[in-house]
């Protein structure tokens, strides 16, 4: 057994804003249509600051390497609320130099008009939800913006923030490979170092699920993935994670921290976190329902629903599940330090040899990784390795 090494001092901080203008039919995130009685943000702001203080008191010796405002639609937040949260994080822990501070934004004109105020509040990176470069499809996806508005929002983002990225959903119903080829070429012209390209999934509980919309079948999905991989590689924006593409050095540092097994704090309804102390990693999640979460924060000073210490096996499985999403794969040194085990002693050796022979996985002195071909069947590979 290798001793588990204490995590670095750095913490990634996630802030969840659970409201949107309306609920998109494909979305199963913890997001809810904003009702008029929730327009006043003061209670939410107070609750976030209280919850943040609760975690700061337990992690006094740490510092913040990244903050991510996610949702929901955090661009509906009042910029003064964003400023107050960033300032509280600085006062409670201290922000590291070059701290990456991202805000997810929807590209309606009202939200884009607030980009300057968000920058003045401390945001230095934005992630804009463009989703499609086709007005009919935007309407089908239930979006509140047009392609024209989305392009204007991207221009404003480029002129306002140090870094921007945007999200696109592909393999949409009625979208063929040829249409995606043309759209992706347009997408790549709009990028500035980073883009997230998600294949549409149909999640239980969504309107698309209830109304019988279906995902691309696995063969077509594989063709979409292959095409995406080819065009993004040619454009110098290779995948560094299944759905995330970046030029070298432009990766989302906040998200890399999750996939590489670093500690993080989630503040807000439904958010979760991981904290390592004395060689043990604890996992917690917060109450998902926004109003119940606020009530508990008011009563108890935090919104945590449950905390548990991860067993050695839980930690190993988490590290493999998250780490193999990365194109670089899992660093064998980091894995040993985080789990106390050599990765070769915890994966199924026969299956690993077979996956290597089939060109689905690669093992070298420093990393275990899944190839581009293997990423198409990642869940099956993980199942094999973990038996
Ligand atoms: C937290 S969500 C949305 C952020 C922001 N509210 C927006 O809609 O632009 C992050 C991203 O996940 C992607 N996404 C959500 N549901 C999806 C689904 N069912 N299939 C594929 N991508 C999805 C969308 O691209 C979305 O921008
Ligand atoms: S996709 Fe974005 S805007 Fe649409 S419901 Fe989900 S979080 Fe809200």
CATH number of the domain within which 46 lies: 3.20.20.70
Question: Does residue 224 share a domain with residue 354?
Answer: no
**Nearest alpha carbon to residue 346 among 297, 387, 287, 298:** 387
Q: What is the pLDDT of residue 22?
A: 93
Assign 7 a pLDDT band (cuts: 50, 70, 90).
Answer: low
Are 286 and 265 within 8 A, CB to CB?
no
Question: Does residue 254 share a domain with residue 316?
Answer: no
Relative to the CA of 143, which ligand 2 atom is closest?
Answer: 4
- Is the per-residue pLDDT at 279 higher than 80? yes
Are 106 and 75 within 8 A, CB to CB?
yes
Q: What is the pLDDT of residue 74?
A: 96
**Nearest alpha carbon to residue 230 among 221, 242, 239, 219:** 239
Question: Does residue 375 share a domain with residue 253?
Answer: no
- Is the per-residue pLDDT at 36 higher than 90? no
**Nearest alpha carbon to residue 17 among 91, 106, 87:** 106
Q: Does 104 contact ligand 1 (Cβ within 6 A)? A: yes
Q: Does 129 contact ligand 2 (Cβ within 6 A)? A: yes
What is the average pLDDT value for the chain, to the nearest integer?
95
Would you call 3 exposed, middle or buried from its count of C-beta atoms within 10 A (0-12, 13-18, 19+)? exposed
Residue 307 lies in a domain: no
Distance in Å, CA 198 to ligand 2 centroid: 14
- Our CA angle for 145, 150, 156, nearest 5°, is 130
Owning domain of residue 64: 10-258
Q: What is the DSSP letter of 262?
A: -
Q: What is the DSSP letter of 260?
A: T
Q: Does 270 contact ligand 1 (Cβ within 6 A)? A: no
Ligand closest to the CA atom of residue 106: 1
Ligand closest to the CA atom of residue 129: 1
Distance in Å, CA 47 to ligand 1 centroid: 25
Question: Does residue 123 share a domain with residue 59?
Answer: yes
112 vs 118: CA distance, rounded Å:
10
Question: Does residue 322 share a domain with residue 186?
Answer: no
Q: What is the pLDDT of residue 39?
A: 66
Are 205 and 169 within 8 A, CB to CB?
no
Ligand closest to the CA atom of residue 20: 2
Mean pLDDT score, 45-55: 97
Whose C-alpha lies nearest to ligand 2, atom 7?
A: 72
Domain boundary (258, 284, 300) is at 258
Question: Does residue 93 share a domain with residue 225?
Answer: yes
Q: Does 167 contact ligand 1 (Cβ within 6 A)? A: yes
Residue 302 lies in a domain: no
226 vs 375: CA distance, rounded Å:
10
Mean pLDDT score, 41-59: 96
How many domains does one find in the chain? 2
Q: What is the DSSP letter of 104?
A: E
CATH number of the domain within which 370 lies: 1.10.10.920
Q: What is the pLDDT of residue 35?
A: 74
Domain boundary (258, 291, 322) is at 258
**CA distance between the termini of the chain:** 20
Question: Does residue 41 share a domain with residue 164?
Answer: yes
Relative to the CA of 71, which ligand 2 atom is closest?
Answer: 7
- Is the per-residue pLDDT at 37 higher than 80? no
Residue 359 lies in a domain: yes
Domain boundary (240, 258, 276) is at 258
């Amino acid at each position: 057994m290798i001793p588990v090494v204490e995590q670095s001092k750095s913490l990634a901080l996630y802030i969840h804003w659970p409201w949107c203008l309306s609920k998109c039919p494909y979305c199963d995130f913890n997001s809810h249509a904003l009702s008029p009685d929730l327009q006043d943000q003061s209670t939410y702001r107070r609750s976030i600051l209280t919850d943040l203080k609760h975690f700061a008191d337990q992690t006094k010796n740490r510092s913040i390497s990244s903050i991510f405002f996610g949702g929901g639609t955090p661009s509906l937040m009042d910029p003064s609320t964003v400023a107050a949260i960033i300032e509280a994080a600085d006062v409670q822990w201290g922000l590291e130099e070059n701290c990456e501070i991202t805000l997810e934004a929807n590209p309606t004109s009202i939200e884009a008009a607030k980009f300057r105020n968000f920058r003045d509040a401390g945001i230095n990176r934005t992630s804009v939800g463009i989703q499609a470069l086709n007005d009919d499809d935007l309407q089908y996806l239930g979006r509140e913006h047009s392609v024209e508005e989305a392009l204007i929002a991207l221009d404003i983002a480029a002129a306002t923030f140090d870094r921007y990225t945007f999200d696109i959903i592909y393999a949409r119903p009625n979208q063929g490979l040829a249409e995606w080829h043309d759209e992706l070429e347009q997408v790549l012209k709009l990028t500035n170092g980073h883009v997230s390209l998600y294949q549409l999934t149909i999640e239980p509980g969504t309107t698309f699920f209830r109304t019988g919309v279906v995902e691309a079948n696995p063969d077509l999905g594989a063709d979409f993935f292959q095409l995406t991989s080819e065009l993004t590689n040619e454009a110098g924006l290779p995948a560094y994670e299944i759905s995330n593409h970046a030029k070298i050095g432009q990766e989302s540092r906040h998200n890399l921290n999750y996939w590489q097994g670093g500690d993080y704090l989630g503040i807000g309804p439904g958010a979760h976190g991981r904290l390592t102390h004395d060689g043990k990693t604890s996992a917690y999640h917060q109450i998902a329902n926004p109003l119940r979460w606020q009530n508990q924060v008011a009563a108890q000073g935090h919104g945590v629903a449950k905390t548990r210490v991860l067993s050695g096996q839980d930690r190993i499985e988490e590290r493999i599940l998250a780490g193999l999403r990365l194109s670089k794969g899992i660093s064998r040194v980091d894995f040993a330090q985080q789990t106390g085990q050599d990765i070769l002693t915890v994966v199924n050796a026969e299956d690993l040899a077979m996956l290597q022979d089939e060109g689905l996985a690669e093992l070298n002195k420093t990393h275990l990784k899944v190839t581009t071909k293997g990423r198409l069947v990642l869940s099956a590979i993980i199942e094999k390795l973990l038996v």
